[in-house]
Amino acid sequence: MTANSVDVGFRSERGPILIALMLVTGLVAIDGTIIATAVPSIVKDVGDAVAFPWLFSVYLLVQAVTVPVYSKLADTIGRKPIMLIGIGLFLLGSILCGFAWSMPSLIAFRVVQGLGAGAVAPMSITIAGDIYTVQERAKAQGYIASVWGIASVVGPTLGGVFSQYVSWRWIFFVNVPLSILAAFMIIRTLHENITKVKHRVDYLGATLVTTGLTLIILAVLEGGVVWPWDAPISVGAFVVGGLLLLAFAFVEIRAREPVLPVWVFSRRLLVSTAFVNLGVGGVVIGLSAYVPTFLQGALHVSPLEAGLTLAALTVGWPLAASQSGRFYLRVGFRNTVLIGLAFAIAGTLTLALTAHAPSIAVVAVACFIIGLGMGLIAVPSVVAAQSSVEWNQRGVVTGTQLFARSIGSAVGVAVFGAIANAIIGSGSRASVHLVVESSSAVFFGVVIVVIVVLVAALGMPNSRVPAAVAAAPAEA
């Protein structure tokens, strides 16, 4: 496909595709948050309160482990078929979730949704990388990033409205018409010219990486929560998962068309940006999970107020992301990421140092500053990776970056949860003090993650974007 228009707006030649990408991204983004406020209603209806955390973890788990598989397939058969498969699975999962009769069935159907989300998220970013030049991608991906910000506010609100006034089942049924509309728009607006060649699918590699990562992430998510870290099931999951991933590495070296090519890990830029996005996932999940809890526990604000305060982060993020192109075209990708890290460090330190004197205004300002930093970190790191390869490698490269971000979120859930639970479980003081102390510890943990991201960013090559490359249209 060729981008002929220099306009990135909705009324441009590529505008309908951008709108479709935003719509389908919105489905996945909202479904990650809409269920939070509906949990009490779901448990009341289908029971099994102990198992409800799996509604979140299996969705995240399946989404993470399928990204490399979908990304490789996208480089062989095209982005459009994979996107439509993802939308179809997400639609099917939503319908099944709406008719779930028990907690186990609902958890199983969330797996189907996760299978769809694992295709949709990386394909949105990859397609944007295909149809926009390096110069344009920051603004285009800023639009897509803004969807996540809107979802963080709209999702919990819709979940509460449906649960209170209609039924929790409608948080899934609402996806049906939106999924159909998104698929229609993708079919009608996105056109690819793919040369049909015979491919050998790496089934063994796909099975090994999916199973191995499933066991590892499962052990990280549930260790210290469902079972002790040193329990046989925990140790076994880590050991077997690690062995499967080791076997996967050997298989990929010999595979004719590997799911995750070894060359991805041999390039300094791709490795360093993957570590940057690993940290981005950890930072986002740490703040998303604990800022609302901190505000509600320490200041007794309403869930809506807490959500709106966190939304300051998701306002700053797309604002900075849309302007990040101006920075990386002038000072390069690495320097832009480092500027973003300066904002992120300032914001996270503010959160950590003021936690014992909580203020909703301070938290909102800190979140906004962190959001500015994230916008200058996340988009340039992904665009840098995309711009270093050809079309037939862009899906794998983009998928690797988003896979790293998903893994960062999964690991962050476990690590920050372990920190908070250790403090809350060992204290006997008033609950407010325990909330403040645990939140403060988590925020300092987020600061450490940002510092680790800084180290990774310093490993990025300090290259500029050639003018010819910045303005060159994408081809497929």
**Which CATH number covers residue 94?**
1.20.1250.20
Spatial separation of the C-alpha atoms in residues 100 and 70, rounded to whole Å: 27
Q: Is residue 349 located within the same domain as residue 464?
A: yes
Q: Is residue 448 located within the same domain as residue 341?
A: yes
The string of DSSP codes covering 375-426 is HHHHHHHHHHHHTTS-HHHHHHHHHHHHHHHHHHHHHHHHHHHHHHHHHHHH
Determine phi and psi for 10, rounding to 5 degrees. Answer: -70, -25
Residues of the domain holding 230 = 200-256
Q: Is residue 1 located within the same domain as residue 65?
A: yes
Predicted TM-score (pTM) of this structure: 0.75
Is there a domain that residue 353 lies in?
yes
Q: Is residue 392 located within the same domain as residue 314?
A: yes
Give me 282's structure tokens.
């950890």
- What is the total count of domains within the chain? 3
Spatial separation of the C-alpha atoms in residues 57 and 242, rounded to whole Å: 20
* Crossing angle for the helix pair 103-131 and 360-386, to the nearest 10 degrees: 60
Give me 299's structure tokens.
């200041």
pLDDT digits (tens, 9 = 90+) for 281-292: 888 878 877 887
Provide the residue type at 95 as one letter.
I
Q: Is residue 26 located within the same domain as residue 159?
A: yes
Residues 6+ apart with CB under 8 A from 232: none
Residue 148: the pLDDT is: 67
Residues 6+ apart with CB under 8 A from 427: 433, 434, 437
One digit per residue, the tens of pLDDT, for the chain of length 476 reads 444 444 666 677 778 888 888 888 888 777 766 776 676 678 788 877 666 667 777 787 788 778 777 877 887 788 889 999 999 999 999 999 999 999 889 999 999 998 998 888 788 878 887 878 777 776 777 777 667 666 666 776 677 777 778 888 988 898 898 889 888 988 888 887 766 556 676 778 878 887 887 788 778 767 766 778 788 998 999 999 999 989 988 888 888 777 777 788 888 889 999 999 999 988 887 887 788 778 877 888 776 677 677 778 777 887 888 788 888 888 888 999 999 999 999 999 999 999 888 888 999 999 999 989 998 998 888 888 888 887 677 777 887 887 788 778 777 766 787 777 777 766 555 568 888 888 888 899 999 999 999 999 998 887 666 554 455 545 44
Residue 289: the pLDDT is: 72
Is there a domain that residue 385 lies in?
yes
Spatial separation of the C-alpha atoms in residues 39 and 151, rounded to whole Å: 18
Is there a domain that residue 61 lies in?
yes
Is there a domain that residue 262 lies in?
no
Contact 241, 277 (CB under 8 A): no
In residues, how long is the chain?
Answer: 476
State which of 256, 282, 298 marks the end of a domain. Answer: 256
Q: Which of 92, 97, 463, 56 has its CA nearest to residue 285? A: 56
Is there a domain that residue 261 lies in?
no
Contact 298, 358 (CB under 8 A): yes
Spatial separation of the C-alpha atoms in residues 318 and 82, rounded to whole Å: 26
